[in-house]
Structure 1
């Protein structure tokens, strides 16, 4: 398919141990009705056949696909930056190696971003799919927003995945924060939203795959709590400058998320019968005493189990 006459589009694809899903991902990107002229696939030292898949696509599409290979695992943010640094097109988009796009995702986003002068980045609707590609959540159930949506980003109330942005906006914002082990994507979207309103294409262009090996399933609750607190601290001045309504929404909603993570951590500790994990959980809940740490429903189980453990 020939490259269109409009603005050029580049796509970077962070990949790690996604051999099973990467071919479908790359096919969906390369076969867009508005095809990208540059696709950069970054392998973060995968231990499966991901590298071989990338090399095969480099062979098949020598003028469009470029592989970047890390000798050691450097983390999500560094892998994202490896791809972002190589994109030289007018517009930039991204997709995880286990996700895929529907055929007109790029076409509709280019139309949106070029038709409104105040819009410098854009995104499409999405649906969640399982490992087999079956839809597990309908598009109607996922919130969408446009314009100034920094508050919605910080409370995770917007289905903003696989955005597209002007290269000039990317150059202003810079790269992903490699000091963040989690939440680097949210932080980057906050920084984008600070500089430009966002456009929204109602076309359901993204298919977001949820598999049990993904980080959203396997993340440690404490890592999640730490990432949320770091994100809020880093963006404190932006939150302080929000309206009172939005500021309270960000603070209260994230406290609920943290509280939920602590409860999950405590429950997992009980199920695993791990005293060390439970004590660590209780220690951090006290350390962050400003958080309403609600273990009320688990208190009886905790007390009973600890008495048995020390008797």
Structure 2
């Protein structure tokens, strides 16, 4: 054990940064975190998945300059985004853990506000916030365009999280470390899995303020070709949680039908997968409940504009 390890205080918050070949972005990301003003100690754990560009050198620079804060984890070989994510989060020592992708960045006040909410409500396990959306070409969309009024006083229940499937972008999440399931490193999970896991153990909260920026279609990000695999994996997650919480059958049925409608509208073959899941778990619901859920999903989206074209993003 070296002197740095002996003198470093146990932090209240751990910020886990996941990166791979993000030389263009990682400096802005890390600077936005170390510049946060808080009345508590925090650590920044940076998991680099064996980058082949200049990402590692920038991380080393920050680790040297902020030796009491920044803790690098350099993979000796490329393990893949999921394993890098899980191992980095498993290394967190703070009571609360925030996630940040290496191509996104935080705005002032983020850590203090989210930690304050978790401090004030012991039943709250996860906190998200609004983000602005932007891209490398100068495109920008304000996070204010998402309608979050569906969340009563900002609170989110497990059943609401099931029906919506999406609460906030992952780089806006801070959660209570004691509430997170220790997922096996060989298990394939999405952000959705963590959302459902955390809210099955308590309530969630969405901060009605923009406290971060989320980069759309960054270099190295997931592509449209990954969407079918992601959609089917979300159904696997639904199967898993429905077995644990059979009382949520109605909510999962509404989630499946809503996603089937969305996929049919977008001509995605995965609509059939959602229909099959819904038929296996059929539940009596009023048509109005499906319509309301679809409307709520639409309301929480923001509209991203590029020239004369626009699309909804979540």
Provide TM-score, normalisation by structure 2.
0.73
User: Which of the numbers 22, 26, 31 marks the counterpart of 2:30?
Assistant: 26
- SS across alignment from 1:95: strand
Match in the other structure for 1:272: none
Residue-pair matches, total: 264
Shift of 1:51: 1.1
**Residue pairs, 1:21-170, within 5 angstroms:** 21-34=25-38, 37-131=42-136, 134-141=139-146, 143=148, 145=151, 146-153=155-162, 155-161=164-170, 162-170=172-180
Structure 2 CA distance, aligned partners of 1:232 and 1:72? 32
TM-superposition CA deviations, 1:168-216 (whole Å, max 9, x none): 223xx22376421xx5211011111111111232221121111253544
Structure whose CA Rg is larger? 1
Does the CA contact (< 8 Å) of 1:33 and 1:107 recur in 2?
A: yes
Partner of 2:197: 191
Q: Does 1:234 align with 2:240?
A: yes
Q: Compare the two structures and name the one with the higher strand fraction.
A: 2
Within-5 A mapping of 1:194-233: 194-233=200-239
Secondary structure of the residue that 2:223 maps to in structure 1? helix
CA distance in 1, matches of 2:80, 2:218: 19
Q: Which moved more, 1:143-152 or 1:51-60?
A: 143-152
CA spacing shift, 1:238–1:205, aligned 2, 3 Å: farther
Alignment CA distance shift 1:75-1:36 (3 Å): farther
Which of 21-30 and 208-217 deviates more?
208-217
CA contact (8 A) 2:263 2:271 kept: no
Q: Distance in 2 between matches of 1:226 and 1:243?
A: 18
What TM-score does the superposition give when structure 1 sets the normalisation length? 0.73
Unaligned runs of 5+ in 1: 266-283, 293-311
For the residue of structure 2 that corresponds to 1:241, the secondary structure is: helix
RMSD (Å) for aligned C-alpha atoms: 3.1
Q: Is residue 174 from structure 1 mapped to residue 182 from structure 2 by the alignment?
A: yes
